[in-house]
Amino acid sequence: MMKFRFRRQGTDPQREKIKQELFAFNKTVEHGFPHQPSALAFDPKLELMAIGTKSGAIKVYGSPGVEFTGLHRDTTAVTQIHFLPGQGRLLSLLDDNTIHLWELVAGPPREVGGVKREGVVYLEEVDSYSLPGRPGIESCSATRVTVLLLLRSSDLLCIGTEGGGVYFLELPRLSLKDNQTLLQDQVMQSLPDDYRCGKSLGPVESLQEHPQQSGKLLIGYSRGLVVLWDLTTRRAEQLFLGKQQLESLVWERSGNLFVSSHNDGGYSVWAVSKSNTYNHQPVSSSIPYGPFPCKAINKVLWRTTQTGSPVLLYSGGMPRASYGDRHCLTIQQDKDHVTLDFTSRVIDFFTVHSVEQEKEFDEPSAVVVLLEEELVVIDLQTPGWPSLPTPYLAPLHSSAITCSFHVSSVPPKLWERLVNAGKAQRGRQHAHGSWPICGGKNIAPPPKHQELLLTGHEDGTVRFWDASGVALTPLYKLGTANVFHTDCDPSDDPQDSSDDPDMQQEEEWPPFRKVGCFDPYSDDPRLGIQKISLCKYSNKLVVSGTAGQVIVLGLSDERSDHVVDVSVVDLLQDREGFTWKGHDRLEPRLKPASFPPGFQPLVLVQCMPPASVTAVALHAEWNLISFGTSHGFGLFDYHRRNAVLARCTLHPNDSLAMEGPLSRVKSLKKSLRQSFRRIRKSRVSGKKRPITTPTSKVQEANAALAEQEDVAPIQRRIEPRSADDSLSGVVRCLCFADTFLRDGTHHGPTLWAGTNSGSVYAYALEVPGVGSGRVCERGGAGESSVCVEAVLGKEIQLMHRAPVVSISVLDGRGKPLPDPYEASQDLASAPDVTNAHSVLIASEEQLKVFSLPKVSAKTKFKLTAHEGCRVRKVALVMFGSAAQEDYCEHTLVCLTNLGDMHLFNIPALRPQVRYDCVRKEDISGIASCVFTKNGQGFYLISPSEYERFSLSAKILTEPLCSVQLDRPLEHTPASDGATAPPQANGTHKNPMGQAEGQTEESPSSLSSPILDTPLDSPLSCADITLDSTGEITVEDVRDFLTTVDEAENNLKNIKEEEGRSTGILIN
């Protein structure tokens, strides 16, 4: 056997320049809702909102597309944020008791899409401060910051502490004004003896500046005391002697009243008058949800209106026994009273209202509520106070995300129909007011094409998102639960609560109203969506789920009431000895169901046993779908409603495949036994034993050649996987292709399937009216022309039995085949059928290209042997050059289990560049990654956030924003190139504590990361040939469509090569 190796001749400067124009790695923007939010702020002048998180991130939002991200040096929780109104500055308080000052600063001019963009702004940390401890006190808890207040003049920051002291910082220099410090002892001297009683006043709970008289502060202490303090005279003007533990304070706009909220679930209104120094009793006091013990009212707001009745808003206050576990915000105005009931904890809230001094009333227009899992905006100007739809910050994880699918260049007609379907849905639920957080200006060029991101969820829904720009906007939601009878079917409820007067009376108080869309609880886990496929030209959608359900849907603009056709496909094919121990199938509805405008189900294909669907493929031009589970795969003609093929892939030892993901009957002993067997096998296979099989002789020859050659590339030894491994029959990928499978002259429809055990099945399909050669020859023969037929053409067994991750067919020019309808409707160039096609099979261990129809190996790259990693995700991407408009290359993008991206050209599989993308510990992030066709991608960095990245030097979707500030924007000098983009979830830690509103190209992205192990230039004449050092790579290929001549040739080959198996051997 011959041994080949790489010939390394150094790098080609011309090729390196082309790679720099094609490839550049950038993490561009984070879509979705920030994970674990902990603080909220609003700038009423700039109309910007800031959210802080427990991981130390600060995210500033304005109008859709306006986003800035900052990351503190330490991953410490942000507890408070405060804007300096109009200045583009904000202060953050961290859990480690440090205060940080951030500024929006102007970056250097940038060229985007051929246009020079100036005024691009990003967020930068400029200073920080830590409050020193009090002398003589060892514990630092006395100076632990509890509350911050920024005065209207924005030149002084008031700091309340746990020890009861109030400190003052000069802004923006963050310097302490010692002469202004107010300690608790000074306040105690002004108290009457009967109130003092030797007790401490407790921490400072609230600081509020007088709305009309600058320099006067309300200081609220935990014990209940509220002091009106004059900063100029440094004395207490009035004392309000509250007796309940204080939670928060708020001024009424005129300054004649203020409201305090308490831990007993009540609030009090106090009058401010110069006549009384001591106020023992409030004007009024109320426990709105009493008289039984209630939880604390954490925050209260009082907003005046022109109608005369103020709007009162407060969080908490629920009766402990009955509704202590509810997360609520109450809105009251005159007789209107509503208790907003959320599904996650209230972090903070603010109102959007008039802040001009000359205005007499607040006139609140909206209340923005930050919850632990979502953001809710309530329109206060519309009767009934409906919620507003969010153009961004939508909770992606309203139900847990189970899969995703990206569609690029969406046709305008499909886009319009989806938008209209979404509007019809939202019209019943939301108000149509304007979005109140509308600051800044998005100066990014409008997208050339519309992009869709589809997410499948645990509750059986599929959500459609506008992924064309920075703001990930919800478009439309598709539900599949109404196709089935579920455990929580509303029609199955035995009793309707609306008919019960006792229930009605009970529900009237408190007046709860469910708000928000975060609902982590699934009615039935079997509804979970596992795989999605959408044809953007025919408007056909395939959705498959956890219980073996595969639903084909079509787009309709009208409501429809119909029965969904059901077809059952038995993948076991009556194989004996297997008993399904998992969950039951979902029961389909037998009566007509109502389906709103949008995607409506046409046919339901039920796989039996009802195992989770692991792969799905759609070819709308042929009206075919293919689906796979852990038991096998099937082919279904949804136009004629008949099953074409069912193939079982189970191994006799595949016992775990019969238990399912939701089964509780898995034996711990069995798992341990299998683990020990695998360890024993690997140990035994590592020992040197004299074996006289032909395969071992070849391996010994390879080993001898490797010892003689000094410069042979170092490779890891790859152990073949046992055929007895559990779940070896799982179908990992499916692929339709119009290619050569029977012979080299007739091409036609084919179906390819790859399994977990390294098996690849290729079927020749006979689709009426499609294909050439034999398909058309049989077209006139009776019934065969009506039904689709599938004939097994090739069966390939990869040597090491590594799971097959992806199968793609390449045309005669080595380019991927176009999508269905693209070639027939002249939407893409027709594939080359004059030259031989090839198939690219990516397993977890290596990438390999075979010629068709002979299935002989052309080239390969052994990723596991060379890099020590395994393939997790594969995509064929077209990269355009940033320098040459008409130059592009088709590239294979590979994501490994170590989180790095490897890029290869096709069909030669020459390595181009490698990038570190995802942390190797982030298993869910790697598993959730999805690529676009133009070189971008998404992966989950938390349950509620997608990280968007770009591998293309030409295509970038990034925030490019400008903001008009009251102060001049300072330009920061461009250092060495640019700054690294921060990652708020900690995947990329920024040592400078700096963040950008735009992500610029990092210097590392301009050089090829594979320069440390340079390969020969793809432009040179030295091609990379098959490298089989230290390994015999033999695939067993069974050809079921051989002609008489081919059979004779194969017989000659078998006679010449004694001792080999009867298949074609590929080395």
Pairing of strands 888-896, 267-271: unpaired
> Are residues 332 and 312 in contact, defined by beta-carbon separation less than 8 angstroms?
yes
The pair of structure tokens assigned to 569 is 């496909």
98-120 pLDDT, tens per residue? Answer: 999 999 998 877 665 555 666 68
pLDDT exceeds cutoff 90 at 191: no
Least confident range of 83-92, 720-729, 892-901, 952-961: 720-729
Q: What is the pLDDT of residue 278?
A: 87
Collapsed DSSP state (helix, strand, coil) of residue 304: coil
| Measured CA distances, 792 to 37, 635, 777, 1038 (Å) | 55, 13, 19, 10
Mean pLDDT of the chain: 83
The pair of structure tokens assigned to 518 is 């975060």
- Cα angle: 613, vertex 616, 621; to 5 degrees: 150
C-alpha span between 554 and 412 (Å, rounded): 17
> Are residues 364 and 433 in contact, defined by beta-carbon separation less than 8 angstroms?
no
Contacts (Cβ under 8 Å, ≥6 apart) of 22: 879, 880, 881, 882, 889, 891, 912, 952, 953, 954
With tokens 């923006």, the residue in question is 172
| Measured CA distances, 444 to 69, 872, 946, 957, 999 (Å) | 17, 33, 20, 9, 12
Within 10 angstroms of residue 288's Cβ, the number of other Cβ atoms is 18
With tokens 């949800």, the residue in question is 289
Taking residues 147-157, report their average pLDDT: 93
> Are residues 636 and 605 in contact, defined by beta-carbon separation less than 8 angstroms?
yes
Q: What is the pLDDT of residue 502?
A: 43
Confidence of residue 669 (pLDDT cuts 50, 70, 90): low
Percent of the chain scored above 90 by pLDDT?
63
pLDDT exceeds cutoff 60 at 524: yes
Q: What is the pLDDT of residue 246?
A: 95
Q: What is the pLDDT of residue 172?
A: 86
Q: What is the pLDDT of residue 672?
A: 65
Least confident range of 205-219, 502-516, 922-936: 502-516
Q: What is the pLDDT of residue 135?
A: 53
pTM listed for this prediction:
0.85
Q: Which residue has the higher pLDDT, 101 or 132?
A: 101
End-to-end alpha carbon distance in the chain: 9
The pair of structure tokens assigned to 405 is 């699918």
Q: What is the pLDDT of residue 1033?
A: 44
Within 10 angstroms of residue 315's Cβ, the number of other Cβ atoms is 27
Sheet holding 930-931, edge to edge: 23-32, 945-952, 936-942, 930-931
C-alpha span between 271 and 249 (Å, rounded): 13
212-253 pLDDT, tens per residue? Answer: 988 899 999 999 999 999 998 888 899 998 889 999 999 999
Taking residues 802-812, report their average pLDDT: 96
Collapsed DSSP state (helix, strand, coil) of residue 503: helix
Element containing residue 543 per DSSP (H, E):
strand 540-545
Which residue, among 349, 358, 362, 266, has the nearest Cα to 311 in the 3D structure?
Answer: 362
Within 10 angstroms of residue 650's Cβ, the number of other Cβ atoms is 23
Pairing of strands 900-905, 911-916: antiparallel
Collapsed DSSP state (helix, strand, coil) of residue 926: helix
pLDDT exceeds cutoff 80 at 433: no
Pairing of strands 166-170, 512-514: unpaired
Least confident range of 199-213, 945-959, 1022-1036: 1022-1036
Collapsed DSSP state (helix, strand, coil) of residue 600: strand
856-886 pLDDT, tens per residue? Answer: 999 999 999 999 999 999 999 999 999 998 9
Confidence of residue 731 (pLDDT cuts 50, 70, 90): very high
The pair of structure tokens assigned to 636 is 């279904």
Percent of the chain scored above 70 by pLDDT?
78
Element containing residue 925 per DSSP (H, E):
helix 923-927
Which residue, among 60, 32, 35, 169, has the nearest Cα to 121 in the 3D structure?
Answer: 60
| Measured CA distances, 996 to 71, 89, 104, 978, 990 (Å) | 10, 14, 9, 10, 11
379-430 pLDDT, tens per residue? Answer: 999 999 999 999 999 999 999 999 999 999 999 999 999 999 999 988 765 5
Contacts (Cβ under 8 Å, ≥6 apart) of 809: 735, 737, 739, 750, 752, 816, 817, 837, 838, 839, 840, 852
Q: Which residue has the higher pLDDT, 133 or 897?
A: 897
Element containing residue 923 per DSSP (H, E):
helix 923-927
> Are residues 620 and 554 in contact, defined by beta-carbon separation less than 8 angstroms?
no
The pair of structure tokens assigned to 809 is 């067919």
Confidence of residue 11 (pLDDT cuts 50, 70, 90): confident
Element containing residue 797 per DSSP (H, E):
strand 789-797
Q: Which residue has the higher pLDDT, 192 or 237?
A: 237
Whole-number CA gyration radius for the chain: 34
Q: What is the pLDDT of residue 304?
A: 94
Least confident range of 786-790, 922-926, 949-953: 786-790
pLDDT exceeds cutoff 90 at 302: yes
> Are residues 637 and 790 in contact, defined by beta-carbon separation less than 8 angstroms?
no
Q: What is the pLDDT of residue 113?
A: 52
Confidence of residue 282 (pLDDT cuts 50, 70, 90): very high
C-alpha span between 608 and 549 (Å, rounded): 9
Note the Cα 421 to chain centre separation in Å.
23
Q: What is the pLDDT of residue 280?
A: 85
C-alpha span between 113 and 41 (Å, rounded): 34
> Are residues 579 and 563 in contact, defined by beta-carbon separation less than 8 angstroms?
no
Collapsed DSSP state (helix, strand, coil) of residue 763: strand
Q: What is the pLDDT of residue 109?
A: 73
775 phi and psi, to 5 degrees?
Answer: -65, -45
With tokens 């209209």, the residue in question is 420
Tell me the sheet residues that pair with 540: 535, 554
> Are residues 976 and 57 in contact, defined by beta-carbon separation less than 8 angstroms?
no
Q: What is the pLDDT of residue 577?
A: 76
997-1055 pLDDT, tens per residue? Answer: 443 333 333 333 333 333 333 333 333 334 333 333 456 788 777 554 554 554 444 44
The pair of structure tokens assigned to 591 is 């009566």
C-alpha span between 500 and 1023 (Å, rounded): 81
The pair of structure tokens assigned to 680 is 């024993």
Taking residues 159-180, report their average pLDDT: 91
Within 10 angstroms of residue 959's Cβ, the number of other Cβ atoms is 25
Q: What is the pLDDT of residue 523?
A: 79
Q: What is the pLDDT of residue 290?
A: 85
Within 10 angstroms of residue 989's Cβ, the number of other Cβ atoms is 14
969-979 pLDDT, tens per residue? Answer: 665 554 443 44
The pair of structure tokens assigned to 109 is 């001019």
Contacts (Cβ under 8 Å, ≥6 apart) of 1010: 911, 912, 913, 914
Helices and strands, number each (H, E), in the chain: 12, 69
Q: What is the pLDDT of residue 115?
A: 59
Peptide bond into 291 cis (omega under 30): yes
Confidence of residue 488 (pLDDT cuts 50, 70, 90): low
The pair of structure tokens assigned to 848 is 């390999």
Sheet holding 156-161, edge to edge: 145-150, 156-161, 166-170, 175-176
C-alpha span between 811 and 538 (Å, rounded): 24
Least confident range of 387-396, 550-559, 825-834: 825-834
Amino acid identity, residue 151? L
Tell me the sheet residues that pair with 188: none
C-alpha span between 849 and 1024 (Å, rounded): 13
Pairing of strands 549-556, 452-457: unpaired
> Are residues 195 and 179 in contact, defined by beta-carbon separation less than 8 angstroms?
no
Q: What is the pLDDT of residue 654?
A: 63
| Measured CA distances, 132 to 135, 155, 158, 161, 165 (Å) | 9, 20, 15, 12, 12
Q: Which of 267-281, 702-716, 737-751 has the highest mean pLDDT?
A: 737-751
Q: What is the pLDDT of residue 823?
A: 86
> Are residues 864 and 847 in contact, defined by beta-carbon separation less than 8 angstroms?
no
Taking residues 828-835, report their average pLDDT: 90
> Are residues 451 and 572 in contact, defined by beta-carbon separation less than 8 angstroms?
no
Q: What is the pLDDT of residue 824?
A: 85
Collapsed DSSP state (helix, strand, coil) of residue 178: helix
Tell me the sheet residues that pair with 159: 148, 167
Contacts (Cβ under 8 Å, ≥6 apart) of 4: 1025, 1026, 1027, 1028, 1029
- Cα-Cα-Cα-Cα dihedral sign, residues 919, 922, 927, 930: negative
